[in-house]
Structure 1
Amino acid sequence: MAPVFYLFYMLCLNLSLLCVLFVVTWNLYWRGGFAWDGSLLHFNWHPVLMVSGLVILYGNAAVVYRIPFTWKQRKLVCKLVHAGMMFVALLLSVLGLSAVFDFHRGFNIPHLYSVHSWVGLSTVLLFSSQWILGLVGFLLPYSTPWIRSSLKPVHIWIGKVILVFGLVSCISGINEKLLLTLNGMIAVPYSTLPVEAVFVNFLGILIVAFGMSVFGILFVKKWQRPEDGPESTHLLLSEGTP
């Protein structure tokens, strides 16, 4: 069982690295680099932060409980790692939203005019609510076993929904960016598939493949962490793996 899992997990990690490498390279090589000054380069942080946080780090945090070598660790440790990774993913997502809103204000561009922006903002808001729900339901010592057992399936289901929304947000955002930028360059419109378009289309494929690898790990029941005995509520966390 473990060798097959680790093949999937290594695929997931390699796709993670490729996605981050592709989105950074795109914005460094073709879009001019990065700045946090309200210029055109300010926007370039948006795709990098959203792909890295809302998809890649979020997806890796979702499969932490499935890694066999972590099963020998106390559930307390796994919960803290999971919650910490999710918090960093949320922080990167919020910074990514800040980058695009700052850019829009600087160039007097209307906010929230596209389907991409609506889905993206909804995803981050749902993610924020999910993290707070997990904190209250699973990390605070006064949470009762009944609350944890009732909350667990909801927490898992919403977590998967957020990952789907994150994938949709990133793919639609990449396509929107290519349409807006390349169609403004008469010599190389998007429809002629210039090198940048081909490269970024591959980025989209990598993001979809990463999402599939994460869901592939999550849907195999035998890769779920075995249930442990109750933990002491004096250690901050309570029983019930989200």
Structure 2
Amino acid sequence: MRSSVFLYATYSLCVGLGLLCVLFVTYWSSHWNGGFAWDHSALQFNWHPVLMVLGLVVVYGNAAVLYRLPFTWKQNKLTWKLVHAGLMLLALLLSVVGLYTVFDNHTTINIPNLYSLHSWVGICTVALFALQWILGLAGFLFPCSPLWFRGSLKPVHVWLGKMILILGLSSCISGINEKLLFTHNESSAEPYSTLPVEAKFANFLGILLVAFGLVVFGILSKNKWQRPEPDVESVRLLQTDNNTRI
């Protein structure tokens, strides 16, 4: 009982930090960078940090811990697989639209694409995310997928899922720093070295993202918070292995 209360308290912290991340990045883009538009301008670019934080970190992180919630344990796992896959697809689509906004803006004003480490990490993260979602769909939701494929894919799926979150956090944090360096360069009225109010605000956004990631990984690291009953794939694999030995 105490474990469940602590889990729900930790999950509530996860949700709260995620909401703060979205609110902070939205306020940053609207207050200091002019707001939002869909006209190939710099205002269209402002959708990029909002969508990447929302999709690649907040929605993704909450989808990753979905199976850890006790109220899902006594329900049909297939239902929650579909919810998990749907949330991950939403996170992927938000990330792809976020990439489109920056590519479209750069093309319109003749800025090169993929010229920084931030952009390289970001594009690789979304590509790995797309591959992860396709493999997960093929391995865990298609009823015709071979049992050996499901068994082999599961540890890779878990490991790659954690790595994608780490890469997503890295790309968002490096993107915040890159944006501040470009906005407050040495020729600006408030250079970044003076740490203006916008820089303090955006740096705190980075701290919120780190805190959110730590809480998500804290939930995922607790073995006693895993879904207690074995999944169908594991049981069927064990039965198949026993039959083979006999």
Which bracket does the TM-score occupy, shorter chain normalised? over 0.9
Secondary structure in 1 aligned to 2:170? helix
AA aligned to 2:127 is L
Match of 1:104 among 92, 102, 106: 106
User: For the residues of structure 1 that align with 2:167 and 2:232, how far apart are their CA atoms?
Assistant: 34
AA aligned to 1:96 is G
User: For the residues of structure 1 that align with 2:146 and 2:76, how far apart are their CA atoms?
Assistant: 20
Between the aligned residues of both structures, percent identity stands at 67
Match of 1:144 among 146, 150, 158: 146
Give the CA deviation at 1:186. 2.4
Q: Which moved more, 1:215-224 or 1:182-191?
A: 182-191
AA aligned to 2:226 is Q
Give the CA deviation at 1:110. 0.5
After the TM superposition, which parts of structure 1 deviate over 4 Å for at least 4 consecutive aligned residues? none
Size of the alignment, in residue pairs?
233
AA aligned to 2:208 is L
Name 1:162's counterpart in structure 2: 164
Cα deviation, 1:1-30, whole Å, max 9, x if unaligned, reads: 101111110110000000000000001111
Name 1:235's counterpart in structure 2: none
Does 1:198 find its partner at 2:195? Answer: no
Superposed, which structure 2 residues align to 1:1-242 within 5 Å? 1-183=3-185, 186-228=188-230, 230=232
AA aligned to 1:78 is W
* Cα RMSD (Å): 1.4
Largest Rg, 1 or 2? 2
User: For the residues of structure 2 that align with 1:195 and 1:229, how far apart are their CA atoms?
Assistant: 50
Secondary structure in 1 aligned to 2:115? coil
User: For the residues of structure 2 that align with 1:174 and 1:17, how far apart are their CA atoms?
Assistant: 18
User: For the residues of structure 2 that align with 1:229 and 1:222, how far apart are their CA atoms?
Assistant: 16
Q: Which moved more, 1:141-150 or 1:97-106?
A: 141-150
User: For the residues of structure 2 that align with 1:192 and 1:152, how far apart are their CA atoms?
Assistant: 49
Secondary structure in 1 aligned to 2:73? helix
Give the CA deviation at 1:184. 6.1
Gapped regions of structure 2 (runs ≥ 5): 238-246
AA aligned to 1:132 is I
User: For the residues of structure 2 that align with 1:82 and 1:40, how far apart are their CA atoms?
Assistant: 34
Gapped regions of structure 1 (runs ≥ 5): 232-237
User: For the residues of structure 2 that align with 1:131 and 1:2, how far apart are their CA atoms?
Assistant: 29
| TM-score, length basis structure 2 | 0.92
AA aligned to 1:168 is S
Q: Structure 2 vs 1, CA of residues 100 and 136 (structure 1 numbering), >3 Å: closer, same or farther? A: same
AA aligned to 1:153 is P
AA aligned to 1:129 is L
Give the CA deviation at 1:228. 4.5
AA aligned to 1:113 is Y
Cα deviation, 1:103-159, whole Å, max 9, x if unaligned, reads: 100110001000000000000000000000000000001013222111100000000
User: For the residues of structure 1 that align with 2:104 and 2:23, how far apart are their CA atoms?
Assistant: 25
AA aligned to 2:164 is I
Q: Which moved more, 1:187-196 or 1:201-210?
A: 187-196
User: For the residues of structure 1 that align with 2:231 and 2:129, how far apart are their CA atoms?
Assistant: 29
User: For the residues of structure 2 that align with 1:228 and 1:187, how far apart are their CA atoms?
Assistant: 60
